[in-house]
């Protein structure tokens, strides 16, 4: 699979960068739409998105590099070449979250309200972003046969793209993309409920993505490792625990999301 989308000679535009950009723009659109419904000032939201995205990208890169130091220490300049791949979504979530904690404390906003607005869009962004991994030959699974891939009724381009390093691989990127899209639709439906409470959308996101990623990592063969442990499964377990806590903690809360304005202030 050719990772280059467009070669202009003096610069190459790669599919990975393209899909990451589309993922970010799609997430921003969903966030803007919800923020408008809640009558949140656009200027405030622009600051959150601008710095949140930057911190997310930095966090995603640092996370990936830390678990691949043996490679990047050989050629430190590779660290800045994010267009070649190597952004870990867990690192991105952590980086963005740390910024939001800082920013909401500074502004004296309710962190959970802001997280609920952002959480819904994340699964859509993740569903789109996985296609960047596909074109980069990343996020693949175990060695399988051509007949196995054909039995999944996959388009020819995906089957051919799953031929990596001399073997056909299971399209775990596709599994995760589909599950993330389903999770996004679920959160959209939940967000319309008159009985959804502050913090529960964030909790549902963490539970869904925690379980989703745990399952997908069981099939992946290019996971980031810490000894014998798959880092993504460890983080996914933490996400699941935190998500259940948020869901149960707010189950008796009287802070509902209704049609009227839900302000950010605590």
Whether 121 and 2 have beta carbons less than 8 Å apart is answered as: no
Quote the CA–CA distance of 62 and 72 in Å, as a whole number.
11
CA–CA gap between residue 131 and residue 263 (Å, rounded): 36
At 12, is the secondary structure helix, strand, or coil? strand
Q: How far apart are CA 117 and CA 130, in angstroms?
A: 22
The reported pLDDT for the residue numbered 258 is 54
Alpha-carbon Rg for the chain, nearest whole angstrom, is: 19
Give me 92's structure tokens: 């991105």
Residue 2: both structure tokens together: 């050719």
Whether the full predicted model's pTM is greater than 0.85, yes or no, is yes
Q: List the pLDDT tens digit at each of the 266 positions of the chain.
A: 788 898 888 788 889 989 999 999 999 999 998 888 777 777 778 889 999 999 999 999 999 999 888 889 888 888 888 877 788 999 999 999 999 999 999 988 889 989 999 999 999 999 999 999 999 999 999 999 999 999 999 999 999 999 999 999 999 999 999 999 999 999 999 998 878 888 899 999 999 999 999 999 999 998 888 888 999 999 999 999 999 999 888 776 666 555 434 445 55
pLDDT tens for residues 127-146?
999 999 999 999 999 999 99
Give CA–CA dist 169/18, Å, rounded. 23
Output phi, psi for 265, to 5 deg: -65, 145
Is 210 within 8 Å of 240 (Cβ atoms)?
Answer: yes
Domain boundaries, the chain: 15-249
Q: How far apart (Å, rounded) are the C-alpha atoms in residues 25 and 31? A: 10
* Tokens found for residue 88: 């870990």
């Amino acid at each position: 699979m050719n990772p280059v989308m467009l070669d202009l000679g003096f610069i190459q535009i790669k599919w990975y960068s393209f899909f990451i950009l589309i993922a970010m723009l799609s997430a921003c659109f969903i966030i803007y739409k919800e923020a408008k419904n809640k009558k949140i000032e656009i200027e405030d939201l622009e600051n959150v998105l601008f710095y949140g995205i930057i911190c997310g990208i930095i966090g995603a890169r640092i996370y990936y590099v830390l678990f691949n130091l043996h490679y990047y220490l050989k050629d430190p300049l590779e660290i800045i070449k994010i267009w070649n791949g190597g952004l870990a979504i867990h690192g991105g979530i952590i980086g963005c979250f740390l910024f939001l904690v800082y920013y909401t404390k500074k502004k004296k906003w309710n962190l959970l309200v802001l997280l609920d607005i952002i959480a819904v869009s994340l699964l859509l962004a993740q569903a789109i972003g996985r296609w960047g991994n596909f074109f980069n030959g990343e996020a693949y699974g175990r060695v399988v046969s051509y007949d196995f891939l054909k039995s999944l009724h996959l388009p020819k381009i995906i089957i051919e793209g799953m031929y990596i390093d001399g073997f056909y691989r299971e399209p775990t990127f596709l599994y995760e993309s589909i599950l993330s899209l389903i999770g996004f639709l679920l959160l959209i439906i939940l967000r319309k409920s008159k009985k959804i409470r502050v913090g529960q959308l964030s909790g549902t996101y963490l539970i869904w993505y925690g379980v989703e990623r745990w399952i997908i990592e069981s099939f992946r063969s290019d996971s980031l490792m810490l000894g014998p442990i798959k880092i993504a499964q460890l983080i996914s377990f933490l996400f699941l625990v935190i998500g259940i806590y948020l869901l149960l903690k707010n189950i008796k809360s009287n802070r509902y999301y209704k049609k009227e304005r839900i302000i950010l202030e605590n």
